[in-house]
């Protein structure tokens, strides 16, 4: 790697915002290069989208740093990665041009390295992202249809990346985009590491993909670097010592021309044995690290919200169950539960098919995607549970809503799902113990 300049995304962003050049003198020597990189990244992105890859519009910040000076030590950005990260799909909520350049080029580098090592026939570690289950996606589509969107799959028997691309585009036109995107995210399967190349659903790649660009924070990336280094230093660029024709192992021009073992037999066998023994461990450790991070974040959020008991916030209903509904406090990205027993103005019935609670007499309803005002009632730090009380918001149920409720089958899509009776009977008798099973996080955003 040869550095032409030392800079970062925040410093270079003004060059793409038409800031007067007098403010950017330090970038004058590389201004043309930055402009070319922007154009290149746009071409790469267009190619990625043409393959069928999709992008998720999700909030990046877990917590505002200004909320508590100590929080910056614990709260990272859940959806902010140098590549597709732990989700398996690209997040684009606030991609500034400089950041999009970095991400697109890193995604391409990951793909090209995997393709190169695959073409050479050397052992390596691939990143595999399987297709979602059709049944889960079909359930999502039923709920989406109840929310006024007309979705469909190209193939009723199999889910394709392009289906998700089309869904995210439809969601972008809905006021409930965030909630719908959360539900879509919950249908994705976790990605894993593998010694054999496989498809990557989120990036619409069939030929193999690897993690290569972040060796300082991911051990699998470092292992791929070691393989590439071995190819460059010990790789055989011709069939035998007598062969006159050589290939360039550092260039894609050698693809299709290599019919021999590139690495020495001993090195090849060592890589194969090591990777076979470690690949499952790498996936497990990744999940363990993610769980530990989520647990710490939950504790810190609970600690922070204890200081705001009694405060009123605006929120978004992100899940509805028989025992109540979950609300994300949008300015904090903290989730809590409004228990059905706290709704004193009426007797509320649970409509699982439309993911809502409806008052029998006042016809008031709390639906998935509705905006509400909530007051922080109490916080259980160790359970990471935030209890909220609704003080405003919701919507009014109509006869049309009741008719639509009879058009679909029962759904089990909610990420806060528990086993419940979907009969639609009143649920005011639900107990607090039901809600205690769901913590402050409420939602388990499955990695990749």
Buried b (16+ CB within 10 A) or exposed e, 346-362: bebbbbbbbbbbbbeee
Tell me how crowded residue 189 is: count the other CB atoms within 10 A of its CB. Answer: 17
For residue 341, the model assigns a pLDDT of: 95
Select from 203, 26, 240 the least CA-distant residue to 126: 203
In angstroms, the CA 111 to CA 105 distance is: 10
Counted residue by residue, the chain has a size of 448
Angle among Cα 252, 213, 85 to the nearest 5 degrees reads 120
Could you give the 3-state DSSP secondary structure of residue 296? helix
Compute CA distances 15 → 4, 24, 27, 31, whole Å.
17, 7, 8, 8
For residue 448, the model assigns a pLDDT of: 37
pLDDT in tens, 157-175: 899 999 999 999 999 998 8
Q: What is the DSSP letter of 8?
A: -
In angstroms, the CA 284 to CA 341 distance is: 40
pLDDT in tens, 395-420: 887 755 554 444 333 334 454 544 44
β-strands 385-393, 371-380 pairing: antiparallel
Beta bridge partners of 129: 200
For residue 400, the model assigns a pLDDT of: 52
Angle among Cα 354, 359, 363 to the nearest 5 degrees reads 85
- CATH code of domain 308-436: 2.40.50.140
For residue 393, the model assigns a pLDDT of: 87
For residue 1, the model assigns a pLDDT of: 66
Q: Are 180 and 147 in contact (CB under 8 A)?
A: yes
Q: Which structure tokens are listed for 368?
A: 């998935």
In angstroms, the CA 401 to CA 185 distance is: 26
pTM, 2 dp: 0.81
Which residue is listed with tokens 């021309």? 257
Q: Which structure tokens are listed for 323?
A: 């025992």
Which residue is listed with tokens 């790498």? 282
What is the residue extent of each domain of the chain?
9-61+70-107, 134-188, 308-436
Rg over alpha carbons for the chain, rounded to the nearest Å, is 25
Q: Are 180 and 164 in contact (CB under 8 A)?
A: no
For residue 101, the model assigns a pLDDT of: 87
For residue 102, the model assigns a pLDDT of: 87
Could you give the 3-state DSSP secondary structure of residue 110? helix
Which segments of the chain have a pLDDT < 50?
Answer: 18, 20-22, 62-79, 403-413, 415, 417-448
For residue 10, the model assigns a pLDDT of: 65
């Amino acid at each position: 790697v040869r550095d032409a300049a030392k800079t970062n995304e925040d410093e270079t962003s003004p060059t793409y915002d038409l800031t007067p050049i007098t403010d950017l003198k330090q970038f004058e020597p590389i201004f043309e290069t930055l402009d070319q990189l922007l154009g290149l990244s746009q071409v790469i992105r267009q190619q990625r989208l043409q393959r069928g890859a999709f992008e998720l519009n999700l909030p990046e910040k877990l917590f505002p740093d200004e909320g508590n000076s100590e929080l910056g030590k614990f709260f990272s950005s859940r959806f902010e990665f140098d590549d597709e990260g732990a989700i398996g799909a690209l997040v684009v909520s606030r991609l500034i041009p400089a950041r999009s350049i970095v991400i697109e080029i890193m995604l391409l580098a990951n793909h090209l390295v995997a393709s190169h090592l695959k073409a050479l026939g050397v052992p390596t570690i691939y990143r595999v992202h399987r297709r979602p289950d059709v049944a889960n996606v079909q359930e999502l589509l039923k709920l989406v249809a109840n929310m006024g969107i007309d979705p469909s799959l190209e193939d009723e028997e199999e889910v394709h990346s392009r289906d998700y691309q089309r869904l995210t585009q439809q969601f972008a036109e809905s006021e409930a985009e965030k909630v719908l995107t959360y539900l879509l995210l919950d249908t994705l399967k976790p990605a894993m590491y593998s010694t054999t190349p496989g498809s990557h659903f989120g990036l619409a790649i069939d030929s193999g993909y690897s993690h290569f660009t972040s060796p300082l924070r991911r051990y699998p990336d470092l292992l791929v670097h070691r393989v590439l280094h071995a190819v460059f230093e010990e790789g055989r660029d011709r069939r035998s010592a007598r062969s006159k024709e050589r290939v360039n192992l550092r260039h894609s021009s050698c693809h299709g021309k290599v019919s021999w073992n590139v690495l020495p037999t001993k090195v090849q066998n060592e890589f194969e044995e090591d990777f076979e023994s470690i690949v499952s461990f790498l996936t497990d450790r990744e999940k363990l690290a993610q769980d530990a991070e989520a647990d710490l974040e939950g504790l810190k959020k609970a600690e922070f919200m204890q200081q705001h008991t009694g405060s009123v916030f605006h929120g978004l209903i992100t899940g509805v169950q028989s025992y109540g509904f979950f609300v994300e406090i949008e300015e904090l990205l903290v989730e809590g539960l409004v228990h059905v027993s706290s709704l004193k103005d009426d007797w509320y019935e649970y409509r699982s098919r439309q993911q809502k609670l409806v008052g029998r007499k006042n016809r008031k309803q709390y639906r998935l995607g509705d905006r509400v005002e909530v007051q922080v009632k109490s916080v259980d730090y160790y359970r990471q549970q935030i209890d909220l009380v609704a003080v405003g918001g919701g919507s009014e149920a109509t006869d049309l809503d009741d008719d639509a409720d009879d058009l679909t089958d029962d759904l089990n899509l909610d990420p806060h799902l528990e086993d419940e009776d979907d009969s639609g009977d009143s649920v005011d008798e639900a107990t607090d113990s039901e809600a205690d099973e769901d913590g402050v996080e409420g939602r388990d955003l499955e990695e990749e």
